[in-house]
């Protein structure tokens, strides 16, 4: 994509966000950004019964166009993906996916949703481990 | 606006609407949100981004003379062009771009009073069409950092005065040392919280009305002179990286007519990280 295509893609997601809103039955609801931050994203994550794949991923948020478009693109990209894909997805890849040429000066905004999703996955795994320990105990 | 010391430096939305097709006027939008321009802008306006266009890509500094000339040439701006800046957040970034243009001595630079928000609030036209102007010729002098820009060594010299006049335009929480960045932003970038000794805290946005326009001259005089920031002083304004303080620099220099005001763009991200420099911290948490 050329620069204008990248901008159009980001604005399309900003103005018409995908998977925007709450997610019924979410296993994890993870807020991201500073508690009173201008760029805020809350990730809703639901994992399938195997505990290995994303069954549902949605977000709510407020803030600049890059932070909100990135959350929408991320949510669209990872529906049904294995949780290990979240582990593998690095901030640099996210920036490249969004369009480095356009978002490089706003990298914190570009990676807010991914960082929040990584925290959500970590939270889910800890909860599963605790549950497993209780079961085993 | 006639009340201000330099009333010609401000234009209102009606003036801009009347000059949309004036080939000698170039509208320049500068925002914090990098894609805001692309969601819709004043017809004919071009975009200048403080990071991509005005900063040196490697050194913490601004673009040099050659790159400034190239930037303005491709934006269709010549030495005689009237450049009108506007943007989001009370023209915070617009005044920053204005300040950088003044480092190169651009003669006719102005600010749209009320910025982007007022234009939109009045229901005026926006477009997504990006204009393409013929390449212009621009000849700039070497950047002059002496008159309106302060460096850390100059701030240290400034502190040796009996009553140094510094304006810290950050939030009270940043000034006290409670926070390292604005309350609604990530707390990152400096190792120490507080302020430069002797500074007065006058948050930049206190100079703006709710609609983004500048407060009246009388209100501004009361705001600054009430804290000892008077026109007879050698004033240095600072914030975190020099963008918010460019707004205060603009107010003091152009709206109140102070003759000696410099913007310390190293600001708290430099001062708050330097080894061994004095700071004051009033937050006791």
Give the tens place of pLDDT for each residue, B160-212: 998 899 999 999 999 999 887 655 455 557 888 999 999 999 999 999 999 99
A-chain residues near B186 (CB < 8 A): 33-34, 37, 108
CATH number at residue A128: 3.90.1010.10
Q: Which two tokens stand for residue B68?
A: 């400034």
CB contact under 8 A, B39 and A65: yes
Q: How confident is the model at residue A35 (pLDDT cuts 50, 70, 90)?
A: very low
pLDDT tens-place values along chain B, 285 residues long:
789 999 999 999 999 999 999 999 999 999 988 899 998 999 999 999 988 899 998 999 999 999 999 999 999 999 999 999 999 989 999 999 999 999 999 999 999 999 999 999 999 999 999 999 999 999 999 999 999 999 999 999 999 998 899 999 999 999 999 887 655 455 557 888 999 999 999 999 999 999 999 999 999 999 999 999 999 999 999 999 999 999 999 999 999 999 999 999 999 999 999 999 999 999 987
The answer, yes or no, to whether residue A37 has pLDDT greater than 80, is: no
Query: What is the span of the domain harbouring residue A29?
Result: 3-136
CB contact under 8 A, B39 and A108: no
Nearest to A96 by CA among A88, A104, A106, A87: A104
B-chain residues near A65 (CB < 8 A): 33-36, 39
Which residues, 6 or more positions from B214, have their beta carbon under 8 angstroms from its beta carbon? Answer: B4, B10, B113, B207, B208, B220, B251, B255
Side by side, the strands of the sheet bearing B200-201 are B200-201, B165-168, B235-238, B261-264
Q: Please, what is the average pLDDT of chain A?
A: 92
Overall domain count for chain A = 1
Asked whether this complex has an ipTM greater than 0.90, the answer is no
Output DSSP code: residue B146.
S
Q: What 3-state class would DSSP assign to B187?
A: coil
Nearest CA distance, B241 vs chain A (angstrom) = 15
Q: What is the distance between the alpha carbons of residues B57 and B155, in angstroms, rounded to a whole number?
A: 25
Domains annotated for chain B, with CATH where assigned, are: 7-121 (3.40.250.10), 152-271 (3.40.250.10)
Q: Which two tokens stand for residue B275?
A: 């080894």
Give the tens place of pLDDT for each residue, A101-120: 899 888 888 999 999 999 99
- The whole-number pLDDT of residue A36 equals 41
Angle at A82 between CA A81 and CA A85, to 5 degrees: 90
Which residues, 6 or more positions from A118, have their beta carbon under 8 angstroms from its beta carbon? Answer: A86, A87
Q: What is the distance between the alpha carbons of residues B67 and B64, in angstroms, rounded to a whole number?
A: 5
Residue B239 appears among annotated catalytic residues? yes
Q: What predicted TM-score, i.e. pTM, was given to this entire model?
A: 0.85
Kindly write down the DSSP assignment for every residue of A14-64, as one continuous string.
HHS-TTBS--TT-SEEEEES-TT-SSEEEEEEEE-TTSSBEEEEEEEEES-
Q: What is the distance between the alpha carbons of residues B227 and B215, in angstroms, rounded to a whole number?
A: 17
Rounded mean pLDDT, A50-65: 95
- The whole-number pLDDT of residue A1 equals 81
Rounded mean pLDDT, A116-125: 96
- A vs B, Cβ pairs < 8 A, gives 44
The CA R_g of chain A, rounded to the nearest whole Å, is 15
């Amino acid at each position: 994509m050329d620069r204008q295509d990248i901008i159009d893609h980001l604005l399309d997601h900003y103005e018409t966000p995908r998977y925007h809103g709450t997610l019924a039955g979410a296993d994890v609801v993870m807020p991201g950004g500073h508690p009173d931050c201008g760029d805020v994203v809350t990730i809703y994550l639901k994992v399938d019964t195997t505990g290995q794949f994303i069954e549902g991923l949605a977000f709510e948020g407020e803030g600049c166009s890059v932070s909100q478009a990135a959350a929408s693109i991320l949510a669209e990209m990872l529906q049904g993906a294995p949780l290990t894909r979240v582990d593998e997805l690095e901030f640099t890849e996210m920036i490249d996916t969004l369009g480095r040429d356009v978002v490089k000066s706003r990298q914190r905004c570009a990676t807010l949703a991914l960082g929040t999703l990584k925290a959500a996955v970590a939270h889910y795994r800890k909860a599963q481990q605790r549950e497993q320990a209780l079961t085993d105990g | 606006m006639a009340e201000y010391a330099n009333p010609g430096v401000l234009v209102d939305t009606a003036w801009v609407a009347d000059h949309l097709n004036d080939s000698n006027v170039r509208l320049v939008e500068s925002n914090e949100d990098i894609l805001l321009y692309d969601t819709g802008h004043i017809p004919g306006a071009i975009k200048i981004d403080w990071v991509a266009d005005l900063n040196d890509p490697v050194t913490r500094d601004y673009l040099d003379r050659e790159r400034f000339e190239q930037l303005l040439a491709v934006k269709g701006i010549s030495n005689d062009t009237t450049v009108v800046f506007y943007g989001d957040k009370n023209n915070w970034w617009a005044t920053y771009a204005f300040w950088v243009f003044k480092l190169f001595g651009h003669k006719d630079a102005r600010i749209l009073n009320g910025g982007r928000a007022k234009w939109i609030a009045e229901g005026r036209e926006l477009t997504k069409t990006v204009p393409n102007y013929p390449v212009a010729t621009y000849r700039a002098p070497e950047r002059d950092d002496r008159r309106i820009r302060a460096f850390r060594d100059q701030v240290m010299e400034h502190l040796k005065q009996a009553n140094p006049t510094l304006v810290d335009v950050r939030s009270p929480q940043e000034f006290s040392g409670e926070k390292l960045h604005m309350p609604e932003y990530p707390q990152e970038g400096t190792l120490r919280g507080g302020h430069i000794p002797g500074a007065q805290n006058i948050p930049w946005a206190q100079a703006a009305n709710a609609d983004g326009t500048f407060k009246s001259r009388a209100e501004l005089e009361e705001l600054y002179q009430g804290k000892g920031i008077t026109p007879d002083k050698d004033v240095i304004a600072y914030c975190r990286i020099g963008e918010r303080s460019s707004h205060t620099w603009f107010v003091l220099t152009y709206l109140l007519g102070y003759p000696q005001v410099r913007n310390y763009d190293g600001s708290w991200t430099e001062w708050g990280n330097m080894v061994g420099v004095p700071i004051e911290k009033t937050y006791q948490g």
